[in-house]
């Protein structure tokens, strides 16, 4: 009878040790799965934040809340009947605002010229006459590789002007 009890104790002890090992292996596997899951969730959350930033930037563009300063308080000198011009490119539809920050004359013109073949061939050429200091003109634009902005002098005297050109998209 003692031999049977000892045998049962050994079997029970062996079963207990085997179950303990199985529990340790399962616990280790569970920890590994949890760590892997946390890493995947962190990666997905990072990607979601990236996509939210991208959507925000695209909404800013759609709502014309982005801008680039093409020329900032640049002083130009135009002889009588002459103009100064710059050429820029625009990747998005939007508008260009030209502001005369300072002028020693009261008659300046701003002319914007471009063409594009985005969907249809579009040629744009529009001029706005301004009175002088503090005046501004805005022009709609489509994406184009060559947008020419001209600021000219209609007076018989030399014009000195400070200008700012801003592209809003």
Report the CATH fold assignment for 67-168: Jelly Rolls (2.60.120)
What is the per-residue pLDDT across 137-150, written as a single tens digit (0 to 9) for each?
999 999 999 999 99
What whole-number distance in Å separates Cα of residue 82 and Cα of residue 79?
Answer: 5
Total-model pTM: 0.72
Joined tokens for residue 36: 């892997």
| pLDDT tier at 8, thresholds 50, 70, 90 | low
List the strands of the sheet with 122-130, edge to edge.
83-90, 144-153, 108-116, 122-130
| pLDDT tier at 120, thresholds 50, 70, 90 | confident
∠ CA 79-84-89, nearest 5°, is: 175
Q: Which residues of 32-42 are buried (b: 16+ CB within 10 A; e: fewer)?
A: eeeeeeeeeee
What is the per-residue pLDDT across 52-98, written as a single tens digit (0 to 9) for each?
999 999 999 899 999 999 999 999 999 999 999 999 999 999 999 99
Taking 60 as the threshold, does the pLDDT of residue 47 lie above it?
A: yes
What whole-number distance in Å separates Cα of residue 67 and Cα of residue 64?
Answer: 8
Taking 60 as the threshold, does the pLDDT of residue 100 lie above it?
A: yes
pLDDT at 134: 94
């Amino acid at each position: 009878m003692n031999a049977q009890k000892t045998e049962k104790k050994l079997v029970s002890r062996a079963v207990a040790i085997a179950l303990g090992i199985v529990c340790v292996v399962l616990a280790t596997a569970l920890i590994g799965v949890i760590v892997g899951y946390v890493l995947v969730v962190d990666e997905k959350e990072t990607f979601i934040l990236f996509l939210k930033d991208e959507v925000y930037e695209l909404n800013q563009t759609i709502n014309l809340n982005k801008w680039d300063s093409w020329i900032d308080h640049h002083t130009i000198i135009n002889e009588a009947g002459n103009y100064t011009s710059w050429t820029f490119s625009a990747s998005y539809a939007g508008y260009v605002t030209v502001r005369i920050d300072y002028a020693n004359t009261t008659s300046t013109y701003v002319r914007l010229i471009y063409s594009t073949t985005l969907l249809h061939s579009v040629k744009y050429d529009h001029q706005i006459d301004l009175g002088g200091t503090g005046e501004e003109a805005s022009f709609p634009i489509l994406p184009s590789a060559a947008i020419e902005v001209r600021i000219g002098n209609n007076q018989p005297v030399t014009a000195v002007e400070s200008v700012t050109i801003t592209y809003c998209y």
